Homo-oligomer: A and B are copies of this chain.
Amino acid sequence: MVNFLGNFFGNILGMTPSKPHIVILGAGFGGLFAARAMAHLDARITLVDRHNYHLFQPLLYQVATAGLPPSDISWPVRSILSQQRNVSVLMDEITGVDTTRRQVLLRSSNPEHVHLEYDYLVVATGSRHSYFGHDEWQTAAPGLKSVDDATLIRRRILLAFERAEMLDNDSAATAEREKLLRFIIVGGGPTGVELAGTIAELARHTLAADFRRIDPRNARVSLIEAGDRILPAFQPVSSTYAEKALQKLGVEVLTGVRVTNCDADGVAVDSAAGPQRIAAATVIWAAGVKASPVGRWLNVETDRAGRIPVASDLSVKGLERVFVIGDAATVLDTDGKPVPGIAPAAKQQGRYVGELITASILQQPAPPAFVYRHAGNLATIGRKSAVIEFPGLRLSGRLAWWIWGIAHIYFLLGVPSPLVISFRWLWEYLTYGRGARLITGVEEAD
């Protein structure tokens, strides 16, 4: 309201007219859908992300396992929003928020920090993987959240096979060879399940004929889950199905096993059977996430995972016109349970906040409290199987895989070149090929 009078008088007085300014932090599903929901609003919207692209995270495991090139699942934010003239995109890193002065602080390439003033702020900066207080495990066990994470994991997986092939063919190298051909995925959620299934297929099918000294089919893939079943967010019958399907692909599923250490030589675990070490050159972390540092930026309390508990209109208590959505927020559903940290939830929240801000600016009544509509749970196991739980429908097996595929192509509509990616999938499905098996870049440790 203050802002509105400001605009009003500003215009009357011939001062620089200033439309209300909405700053959105993060160009993931939440931020993008918030921006799109305000497409027809007479306002200035600034969308800030430290990357120049929007990433379709549900398929990131395909990049990490050399199935898709990064650019098939990530598109420049600018080109997605180029027709929406009320949006400016800024590629920059957020260093803090001054909620008193209503400014976002950015680490710009300029010598001084750029201060971005806002009338409304939408924080949708997502999450990173969490090592539960053991950040030192990161180097040995990278997580999968960004394109650079995915190409790092891809490089490690492919290099492990290359290095095993380099070894002398004698028994002295047996231990080293086994270590190189051992792949450990920590965490039995959908990402862990999808990674494990795809790596097993990579070894058993795609790479099978490519080596001369080693047999990639001897690679061992282990999926470690601390709880008593994988896919804990699914119904137990789906967990059982997924476990069997993974075992059929050659994946060793270890439930009730807790990782107590990760280093360059593998992992240390603990379970009912007692502590144990597993030697492995490649360890991937899919066990937990924590929010981006939103609590520090906004100077408000967070929960244990760094998320900000928000009110039923996704606003932050004590701050005016500040909203947190997606993986950066803890949103409680009408039944009091937290809304899951998945793409459809972030999209719904983004759209809701966009509508709420629109109503506020147009001085219309605010929409009722946010209600989450759960669309379902999906996870694929290799290229032949999937588990799907829609409300009232549970499916597993080959049909579920095809529904998963069609659903994702449908999600991809609205992004650039969905046809190219569909075509590539079909091609790779038919040929069992994995077209993006490049080892690029270098690591310190290499």
Contact = CB atoms under 8 A, between A and B. Distances in A.
A288 interface: no
A420 B213 CA distance: 32
A112 to B, nearest CB: 10
Interface in A145-172: 147-148, 151, 158, 162-163, 165-168
A70 interface: yes
Contact of A162 (B91, B114, B416): B91
A295 to B, nearest CB: 26
14 contacts: A51-B439, A52-B162, A69-B71, A69-B72, A76-B438, A82-B209, A89-B212, A90-B166, A91-B439, A109-B163, A110-B167, A417-B431, A420-B424, A441-B441
Contact of A435 (B88, B420, B435, B440): B420
Contacts of A433: 79, 416-417
State the oligomeric state as a number of copies: 2
Contacts of A441: 148, 441
Nearest to A158: B52
A177 B350 CA distance: 34
A204 interface: no
A83 B435 contact: no
Interface string A70-97: 1110111011001100011111100000
Interface in A373-393: none
A420 B423 contact: yes
A307 B259 CA distance: 54
Residue among A108, A109, A148 with max Cβ neighbours from chain B (10 Å): A109
A76 B210 contact: yes
Given A82-B209, A110-B166, A210-B82, A416 B435 contact: yes
A71 B435 contact: yes
A91 B417 contact: no
A431 B420 CA distance: 12
A64 to B, nearest CB: 13
Contacts of A162: 52, 91
A427 interface: yes
B437 A53 contact: yes
Interface in A387-446: 416-417, 419-420, 423-424, 427, 431, 433, 435-442
**4 tightest CB-CB pairs across the interface, nearest first?**
A78-B210, A69-B69, A71-B436, A69-B71
A132 interface: no
A211 interface: yes
